[in-house]
Amino acid sequence: MHSEWQLQEAKSNFSQLVKRAAGGDAQVVTVHGKPTAVVVSAEAYARLTRRKGKLSDALLHPELGIEDLDLARSRDTGRKFEL
């Protein structure tokens, strides 16, 4: 669940907004009624931005993630046309 704050309200009650975000509830800040920013806990931010692995590992060891890949190829050779 999240709460919505207008920008002025968020600035006036910033400590309360941060406490709610730290408690695990995302806080949405709006400007002119449009969602503009989201304040989340440091833990949630770390989880969202954590790297899942390196591209070089996937290229050097493709067998590690092969079940996630769709290697099927279409047998379609395209359309015939005259020049």
The CATH architecture one would assign to domain 3-64 is 3-Layer(aba) Sandwich (3.40)
pLDDT tens by residue, 52-77: 777 777 777 766 666 666 667 788 88
Mean pLDDT across 35-48: 95
Alpha carbon distance 23, 2 (integer Å): 11
Q: Given CA atoms 56, 61, 65, 69 in this order, what sign does their dihedral have? A: positive
Sheet of strand 3-6: strand arrangement: 3-6, 27-31, 34-39
pLDDT at residue 62, as a whole number: 65
Q: What residues pair up with 27 in beta bridges, in sequence order?
A: 3, 39
This model's pTM is above 0.75: no
Phi, psi for 63 (deg, rounded to 5):
-65, -20
User: What ranges do the domains of the chain cover?
Assistant: 3-64
